[in-house]
């Protein structure tokens, strides 16, 4: 069953604006990961945050994790048209890489 | 970085035929690989966990006789869709984790294989 629920399902913004996507999950996790998928392509790993971490940065990406609320957010700052893609959160409840994906957020950044 | 290769990237077949999709880890050994299925504009659903040298572990609701998985070596897992029907048309994606010494344990995904059954 799908554990991760993401909102919004779709987000449309202008270049230069920030984009925030949220993810909620139901069971305990070892880590939570965010992935990007361009249309018809495979997944690209963006960032991993462990259950004992609260915030992590990577370039224009900022991820937060609140294990008490079982939620995470992905912030993309100063968005670019090239950021247009689907973004998925995925939870890893084991050490074997068996991920459970959220429904995804379709981000469209208009130039 | 580590690369996972899938082949073919797309395939069209007639109903009733079988299709094999390969997933290779190119520069690392993967004792475990995962197969996902993705319908258009939907999320990825885990189908099965492929274990090198042993039987695959299938998720609930996935027919093991329909989706045959073989993980004969540390770098290759195959998914065979047997007697394919139009409802099997989907995007199939594999992933593998580099669990070798010195690795970060990161999970790598293939580029996916789009199957269209006519």
pLDDT tens-digit series, residues B14-27: 999 999 999 999 98
Q: Describe the strand order of the beta sheet including B76-81 as a list of residue ranges.
A: B4-7, B19-25, B76-81, B67-73
Pick among B9, B34, B43, B48 to test the A interface (most A CBs inside 10 A): B43
- Quote the mean pLDDT of chain B: 90
Question: Residue A42: is its pLDDT beyond 70?
Answer: yes
Residue of B nearest to A36 (CA): B109
Q: CB-based contacts of B101: which residues, under 8 Å, 6+ apart? A: none
The whole-angstrom separation of Cα B59 and Cα A60 is: 36
Q: Is A47 on the interface with B (CB under 8 A)?
A: no
Of A17, A14, A10, residue with least CA distance to A105 = A10
Residue of A nearest to B34 (CA): A98
Question: Residue A1: is its pLDDT beyond 60?
Answer: no
Q: CB-based contacts of B99: which residues, under 8 Å, 6+ apart? A: B29, B30, B31, B32, B105
pLDDT tens, B21-53? 999 999 888 888 999 999 988 899 999 998 888
DSSP 8-class letter at B88: G
Contacts A33 to B, Cβ<8 Å? 107
pLDDT tens, A73-110? 999 999 999 999 999 999 987 656 678 899 999 999 99
Residue of A nearest to B35 (CA): A98
Does B112 sit within 8 Å of A88, measured CB to CB?
Answer: no
Q: Which residue has the higher pLDDT, A41 or A97?
A: A41
Of B48, B38, B56, B51, residue with least CA distance to B113 = B38
């Amino acid at each position: 069953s799908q554990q991760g629920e993401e909102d919004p399902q779709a987000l449309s913004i202008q270049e230069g604006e920030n984009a925030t996507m949220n993810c909620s999950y139901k069971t305990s996790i070892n880590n939570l990961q965010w992935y990007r998928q361009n249309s018809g392509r495979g997944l690209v790993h963006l960032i991993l945050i462990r259950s004992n971490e609260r915030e992590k940065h990577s370039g224009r990406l900022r991820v937060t994790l609140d294990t008490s609320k079982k939620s995470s957010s992905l912030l993309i700052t100063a968005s670019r048209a090239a950021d247009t893609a689907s973004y998925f959160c995925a939870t890893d409840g084991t050490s074997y890489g068996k991920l459970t994906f959220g429904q995804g957020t379709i981000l469209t950044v208009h130039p | 970085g580590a690369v996972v290769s899938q082949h073919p990237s797309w395939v069209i077949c007639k109903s009733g035929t079988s299709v094999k999709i390969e997933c290779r880890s190119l520069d690392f050994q993967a004792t475990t690989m995962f197969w996902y299925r993705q319908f258009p504009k939907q999320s990825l659903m885990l189908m099965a966990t492929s274990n090198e040298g042993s039987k695959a572990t299938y998720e609930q609701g996935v027919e093991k006789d329909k989706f045959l998985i073989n993980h004969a070596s540390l770098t290759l897992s195959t998914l065979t869709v047997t007697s394919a029907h139009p409802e099997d048309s989907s995007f199939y994606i594999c992933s593998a984790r580099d669990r070798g010494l010195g690795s970060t344990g990161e999970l790598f995904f293939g580029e996916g294989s789009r199957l269209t059954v006519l």
